[in-house]
Structure 1
Amino acid sequence: MKKLNITREQEKLLLTGEFLNEPQTLLYTTDPSFSNKVYKKEFLLNGEKQIDLSEVSSNQRIYVAGIDNQQVYVGAERRVSINGLYNCRDLGGYVTKEKQMTKWGYLFRSDAPDHLLVEDQRYLKQMDIKTVIDLRSPGEIEKNPDKDMGETDHVELDPHAEVAKKASEVPSQGTSNKDEVKVHMLEQLASTAEGQATLIKWQKQMIQQMHDLVMTEKSQAAYSIFLKMVNQTAEPKALIFHCQGGKDRTGWGAALILGLLGVDKKTIYQDYLLTDTYNRPRNEMRMAIYKQYTDNAFVLDYLASLQQTKVDYLDGAFHVMEKEFGTIEAYAKEKLDVTDSDIQRLKSTYLYNEKDRQNILNRWK
């Protein structure tokens, strides 16, 4: 199984692939297993080996398959394209060290679905989400509870990430609000050399936070249950896991899943850093609110650091994990109650195999 690349240009979805010829017959479906409601259609190339999929993807998530000499190509848009979520994306299409590929349409990492529009909820329900795992603290959840996505299981797991919780605070509009108060308090701190040094020190706290997500007992307990929820069925079921911004608590959860599936470290980092791209509009909006109250560079740098996605942050997790345990597999076995059979089950469930290839090939008959 190989990856089809699907990219978005405004309202257009464009497919590119090394095997595309003119014309090209493709399968498309809203079912990631390609077992139900599968359609076959001949598409024409648009420009440089591109196929415009917009006519079949207006208000539902679609999955596309193509065939070239018995080789099956599968793809979907990485980001779930709805207005109420910035950073909801599919963990499919990543190639493992054993040259298998993660399945599209089942494992989604996201920012918090606490502000979904009605049409967003409708879109997500069509994706047949079975499980939602909320990695926020009880206080965050109480303040901004998840909106319904039609899931059958909703689990709350708190890794006790205080810096991440602070980073996830969403500014509120208004003339007199907590954001204005917070900014003015930071301005007072930044008015002295000692205070400026404190702000610089605080900017480095996220590295320690990621270290703690690996090493503290409370975090390990949360991620142990998290992996059990991900791995609870032998047949893949659509699952979304999230914190507030979908950055660090969610990022470490994604790193665990991808690492145990056999995806290499470089790819895990690339997935982590995608958050910076997808969250950029939200972060720019938040910084615009803060800039209404201050132009102090130390304050703004500190506030920006809480929202940023940096290699150094994920390094904080990987460096201690590799130093103490060597590999993600060894760490998961020793600290997260994961067994060899659990890892094999995870791979059998969420990596494409020969059965999946034959199922798609049979759809052409």
Structure 2
Amino acid sequence: LQLKSDVDLRTPAEISAQPDKIPTGVKYIQLNVMADENLIVTPAQIDTLFKDPKLASKKMGGVEGVEASFFALYRDFVLLPSAQKSYRTLFLSLLNTSNVPVVFHCTNGKDRTGWATAALLTLLGVSKEEVLSDYLRSNEYLLPLHQNEIDRFISNGGDSGIPAALFGVKRKYLEVSFDEMHRRYGTIEEYFAQGLSINTAQQEQLRKLYLVRDRDL
């Protein structure tokens, strides 16, 4: 892929537990989206809980509790100063052609990465329905990836809805980010301008770099 940059959106604890393997010549950039939020659940904590389905259900509050946690998380992607700072750095890095091609990721590539992708695609003019459809495709890849953990959890008496809500994505998760963005800023352009301090000229430059005309395809 001839990558030039790897942008890691995870917490230091996540990075320490499973550091990226950086190819020679690739710039590594750490952006802790959730630095201002101390309640993010780590993969190690999830692994511990999943060994005891009854404890997991109690700690997480069942499916409703898991969903509520994700609703709060997706609001934080829009509102947290650390998230705004991280996404600003990510998007501005895309303006520097010496940084691209770039890969950006978190732990499962669906939540922190999901909002980053959704916001960028929306700024580029992709419809909300297409963005949501693309986001939901994460289930096709992530749920099979965690199938052994899911099967073990269910066979031990766990509610099948908990791992689906935790390891997968739901339309209403991303809708929370969109709703918060519109409530706070009105439009995606104003979210970039006010929330991320990425001005109109920089937004237009992103469009010029990452959109092509039909005749160029």
Q: TM-score range by the shorter chain?
A: 0.7 to 0.9
Correspondence for 2:15: 141
Equivalent pair of 1:207/1:315 in contact (CA under 8 Å):
no
- What pairs up with 1:1-365 in 2 under 5 angstroms? 127-160=1-34, 165-166=40-41, 169=43, 179=47, 181-183=48-50, 186-188=53-55, 190=57, 195=58, 198-199=61-62, 200-233=64-97, 237-291=100-154, 294-297=156-159, 300-353=160-213, 357=216
Shift of 1:150: 4.2
Name the aligned partner's letter for residue 225 of structure 1.
T
Contact residue 128 and residue 151 of structure 1 kept, 8 A = no
Q: 1:154 Cα deviation (Å)?
A: 1.1
List runs of 5+ in structure 1 lacking aligned partners: 1-126, 172-177, 361-365
**3-state DSSP class of the match of 1:240?**
strand
Higher relative contact order (CA 8 A, sep 6+): 2
Change (3 A) 1:256 1:279: same
Structure 1 pair 245/189, CA: closer, same or farther in 2 (3 Å)? Answer: closer
Rg (Cα) greater in structure: 1
Q: 1:343 to 1:197 in 2, by over 3 A?
A: closer
SS at match of 2:206: helix
What is the CA–CA distance in structure 1 between the aligned matches of 2:38 and 2:133, rounded to whole Å?
23
Cα deviation, residue 353, structure 1: 3.7
Distance in 2 of aligned mates of 1:143 and 1:188 = 23
- The AA in structure 2 aligned to 1:229 is S
Matched residue type, 1:301: G
Q: Which has the higher strand share?
A: 1
Partner residue in 2 for 1:77: none
The alpha-carbon deviation at position 164 of structure 1 amounts to 9.4
Count the aligned residue pairs: 215
Q: Is the 8 A contact 1:130 1:238 kept in 2?
A: yes
Whole-angstrom distance in 2 between the partners of 1:237 and 1:254: 16
Give the Cα separation in 1 of the matches to 2:196 and 2:179.
18
TM-score, normalising length: structure 1: 0.53
Separation in structure 2 between the aligned mates of residue 209 and residue 138 of structure 1, nearest angstrom: 18
Is the Cα–Cα contact under 8 Å of residues 164 and 209 in structure 1 kept in the other structure? no
Consecutive unaligned residues in structure 2, runs of 5 or more: none
Judging by fraction of residues, say which structure has more helix.
Answer: 2
- Over the aligned positions, Cα root-mean-square deviation in angstroms equals 2.8
Deviation at 1:318, TM superposition (A): 0.5
The structural deviation recorded for 1:279 is 1.6
8 Å Cα contact 2:50-2:56 kept in structure 1:
no
Q: CA deviation at 1:149?
A: 3.5
Amino acid at match of 2:9: L
- 1:56 corresponds to which residue? none
> Normalising to structure 2: TM-score of the pair?
0.87
